[in-house]
Amino acid sequence: MGGSFTKEIVRWLHITGGMILFAYVYTPLVENPFFAGATKNVIFPGLALTGLLMWQWPILRGLFRRKD
């Protein structure tokens, strides 16, 4: 699995999470306790994690690169 493929997966996870968060904010799904809990405890932290990962990708890639 190459670096660009991983980057695309992270990007699409972030976009999908953003759409779910958009649905949480702008629809009446807030009243559904399962959806509200999942959004607060899974989706929002996942968005933060993928956002940080995309932001710091060059630095992280340099840290995990082998030094021969």
Q: Would you give per-residue pLDDT tens digits along the chain (68 residues)?
A: 567 888 899 899 999 999 999 999 998 888 889 998 999 999 999 999 999 988 998 888 888 777 66
| DSSP string computed for 6-36 | HHHHHHHHHHHHHHHHHHHHHSGGGG-HHHH
The CA distance from 67 to 54, in Å, is 23
| Dihedral angle sign, alpha carbons of residues 52, 49, 16, 31 | negative
pTM for this one?
0.77
Q: Where are the domains of the chain?
A: 3-64
